[in-house]
Structures are given as structure tokens and as C-alpha cells.
């Protein structure tokens, strides 16, 4: 019927969220690429590349999915990355407070997405722990 969501496809809200994700991801990837050339610290450069590789893969996978599967795939990706973060953190010394670092990085990601949404690009300084 007119005005009802089509049960066979994504809702308008899901389409909006997915489009917002793509725009934010592309803006962040462009920023990381511009910022990456000047990195002198090998460890920071390596983890920045890992981040951009993972985000690029997430974008590529969702863009390669059928239109009705893009948002469901996007909605599951954070769970995979959270599982990976937990697995990696589980192999660190408790003296390094790995859970706190993971939570701080996750909260930075939330703020980063919000900053990109408001301005179209990120103004953050990064979240690297020292």
C-alpha cells in the first residue's frame, strides 16, 4: 500500500543510515590518506593503515552486497570488529589496561562519526594511546 515500507527491501531510514555511513567512511578514508603521508612513527603508521584497510574492506563489502542486504551487513560489522578487538585485547598484559583502551577507542569512533556528520569532515586529533 502507499506509504508503507516495502518488506522486501530496506526502509528509508535504513537507506539514510547506510548513505550516512558511506559518506562518513569516504570522508574519513580521504582524511587518513592525506594524513598518512607525514607519519614518522612506524607503529602509528602501521595501525593507521590497519584501520583504513579494515574500513575500506567494510565499505567494499557493503557496496558489493545486494541493495536489500547492505544495511543488514553494515549492522553486523561492528560485532565482528568488537569480537576481534576483544580477542586481541585478551592477549595483552592486564597492566596495559586493554579493556579501557578498547572502550576509549570505541568512544572515539562514536565521536568521530558525529564530527564527520556535522561538518562533512573530521576535526579530531586522533586517539592513539601512548
Q: Are 48 and 39 in contact (CB under 8 A)?
A: yes
pTM exceeds 0.85, yes or no: no
**Burial class, 71, CB count within 10 angstroms (exposed 0-12 / middle 13-18 / buried 19+):** buried
Query: In this predicted model, what pLDDT tens digit does every residue of 30-77 receive, in sequence order?
Result: 988 887 666 778 898 899 999 999 999 999 999 999 999 999 999 999
Query: In this predicted model, what pLDDT tens digit does every residue of 67-124 receive, in sequence order?
Result: 999 999 999 999 999 999 999 999 999 998 998 999 999 999 888 888 776 665 444 4
Q: Are 33 and 45 in contact (CB under 8 A)?
A: no
Amino acid at each position: 500500500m502507499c506509504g508503507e515500507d516495502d518488506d522486501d527491501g530496506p526502509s528509508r531510514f535504513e537507506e539514510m543510515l547506510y548513505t550516512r555511513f558511506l559518506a562518513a567512511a569516504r570522508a574519513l578514508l580521504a582524511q587518513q590518506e592525506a594524513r598518512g603521508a607525514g607519519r614518522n612513527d612506524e607503529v602509528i603508521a602501521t595501525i593507521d593503515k590497519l584501520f583504513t584497510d579494515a574500513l575500506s574492506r567494510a565499505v567494499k563489502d557493503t557496496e558489493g552486497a545486494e541493495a536489500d542486504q547492505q544495511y543488514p551487513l553494515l549492522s553486523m560489522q561492528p560485532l565482528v570488529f568488537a569480537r576481534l578487538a576483544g580477542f586481541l585485547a585478551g592477549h595483552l598484559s592486564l597492566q596495559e589496561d586493554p579493556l579501557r583502551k578498547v572502550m576509549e577507542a570505541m568512544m572515539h569512533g562514536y565521536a568521530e562519526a558525529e564530527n564527520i556528520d556535522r561538518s562533512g569532515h573530521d576535526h579530531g586529533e586522533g586517539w592513539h594511546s601512548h
